Amino acid sequence: MPHRLTALKRLLALMLLSTLLLVALPARAQSDTRYFPETDQTLGGLFRLFWELNGATANFGYPITAEYQLPDGRTVQWFERARFELVGSGDQWRVELGNLGTEFTQGRVFPKVPPIEDSADFRYIPQTQHIIKFGFKEIWETRGAERIFGYPISEEIQEVLEDGQWHTVQYFEKARFEYWPELPPGQRVLISNLGRRLAPGGPPPPPPSPPPASTPASPLGEMIHDQLPAQGDVFIIPIAAPPDTAFYLYGAGFDPNEPIDAWLTNAQNESIPLDLALLEREADVASIAFATTDMPEGDYTAVLQGRTTQVIAAANFRLTRAYIAGPGTPRPANMNGDATPADVNPNMQVRVAGYGLRPNELVEQWITEPDGGYVLMPFGDQADALGQIGVTTEKIFWTPEDALAGVYGVHMRGLESGARVSVYFSVWR
């Protein structure tokens, strides 16, 4: 994902936590810390938040040590592919990543190369005077770039890896990429377990096999956000709703000083300009609210584009009445989970539980609301060691004083297994 996406998602997460009519609130005492049976370690606090929002196991692997303090006062925790470091003071703390690639190659000299013209397959990095190519370039650019992996400190080189065979590798300040041609397409670039090589700790046991995916039975449980593509570092709220609903588009990566244009494109490829007086800016993030009054149902694209950088943040959204579930709507049957209690009044809490997921996999979630809104959350969750959510650690939703009456749906999908959870509860007034 683009390297600014995490900052944007964190901003959106804070916004959603304060404004959504229905908000997920983990029970602090029980869910702040997560246990990983693969390595018999736990993860909590800012380290857990950073891990979940920045690629989790795909980028960092599992934790292989507990948090501990170094002699210089830094709090650190080691992962299979990274070292997290807590930096700051008072109320201003942030997580930084250790330079494992630099530390692992200490004493080695890698020749620098002259600049080249960038292309779809090649990118020259002037900060360290090295080139990133092909699959390595794709992984670097889409999964965090220099913020997660640092800049390249070598060219592609040949090294003998743990399997005893020669492989193409490239070192970055915080990581090493490996190319395994015998793996299936799309899976041939691996991130080395440099954390295991540099930190104390032993290898974990392999995870158990995943459960099968399942299909929702109710139209309210239909998943459509994977049918609505996006371009750039962008997020839209909601992603689907009836006509006349207000939408909010957020994009990142703009020059803070450049003018930005905003418009909608309909199915006939006609442009509908948005009111730039509603455009808001914060550093490289821009946002705009827009109404959909008198617009027919169908798919649209909302676009922000910087006039100087030509950066585009575009998100598709859908106008549909398919998810309206106001008072009197029969509550669909739950799928692979439950909500307790299933009937509540405003200012009451609901405990949500889901089953049948792959152990410890990351889970995306979205909410359907009585007014027909379909809100994809910018933050997800993680199944426990038994493939459950909200069982051994509580997952609590609350309904505020002004909650709409009708049926709410809480939906999840395992990002590895594709397994689905949909549970429903009704708010009465």
pLDDT 10s digits, 36-53: 888 888 888 888 888 887
Q: How confident is the model at residue 12 (pLDDT cuts 50, 70, 90)?
A: very low
pLDDT at 328 exceeding the cut of 80:
yes
- Percent of the chain scored above 90 by pLDDT? 38
Q: What are phi and psi of 267, to 5 degrees?
A: -65, -20
pLDDT per position as a tens digit, 233-259: 889 999 999 999 999 999 999 999 999
Mean pLDDT over residues 382-407, rounded?
A: 82
Give the tokens for residue 194.
């440099």
What's the one-letter identity of residue 152? P
Mean pLDDT over residues 183-202, rounded?
A: 82
Q: What pLDDT shows up at residue 143? A: 86
DSSP assignment, residue 377? Answer: -
Give the tokens for residue 347.
């200012």
Q: Which residue has the tokens 């934790």?
A: 63
Pick 324-427's CATH classification: 1.20.120.1200, 3.90.660.10, 2.60.40.1930, 3.40.366.10: 2.60.40.1930
pLDDT at 216 exceeding the cut of 70:
no
pLDDT at 9 exceeding the cut of 60:
no
> Minimum mean pLDDT among 205-219, 243-257, 278-292, 379-393: which range?
205-219
Q: How confident is the model at residue 211 (pLDDT cuts 50, 70, 90)?
A: very low
Average model confidence (pLDDT) for the chain? 83
What's the one-letter identity of residue 91? D
Q: What pLDDT shows up at residue 204? A: 38
Which fold would CATH assign to domain 225-319? Answer: Immunoglobulin-like (2.60.40)
pLDDT at 19 exceeding the cut of 60:
no
> Minimum mean pLDDT among 27-36, 232-241, 372-381, 392-401: which range?
27-36
> Minimum mean pLDDT among 68-77, 235-244, 276-285: which range?
68-77
> Minimum mean pLDDT among 52-56, 167-171, 291-295: which range?
52-56
Q: If we measure between CA atoms, which residue out of 287, 374, 243 comes closest to residue 15?
A: 287
Mean pLDDT over residues 333-350, rounded?
A: 88
Q: If we measure between CA atoms, which residue out of 237, 290, 235, 285 comes closest to residue 262?
A: 290
Q: How many angstroms separate the CA atoms of 239 and 334, rounded?
A: 23
What's the one-letter identity of residue 386? L
DSSP assignment string, 151-187: -B-S--EEEE-TTSSEEEEEEBSS-EEEE-TTSPTT-
pLDDT at 153 exceeding the cut of 70:
yes
Using left for φ > 0, alpha for ψ between -120 and 50, and beta otherwise, residue 390 falls in left
Q: What pLDDT shows up at residue 27? A: 31
pLDDT per position as a tens digit, 93-121: 888 999 999 998 887 888 888 999 899 98
pTM: 0.54
pLDDT at 67 exceeding the cut of 50:
yes
Give the tokens for residue 280.
């808001």
Of these ranges, 10-14, 32-36, 230-234, the one predicted with the greatest mean pLDDT is 230-234
Q: What pLDDT shows up at residue 200? A: 67
Q: If we measure between CA atoms, which residue out of 40, 42, 24, 18 comes closest to residue 32?
A: 42
pLDDT at 4 exceeding the cut of 70:
no
The number of angstroms, rounded, from the C-alpha of 424 to the middle of its chain's C-alpha atoms is 24
User: Where do you find CATH 2.60.40.1930 in the chain?
Assistant: 225-319, 324-427
Q: What pLDDT shows up at residue 220? A: 86
DSSP assignment string, 18-79: HH-SSEEEE-HHHHSEEEETTTTEEEEHHHHHHHHHTTHHHHH--B-S--EE-TTS-EEEEB
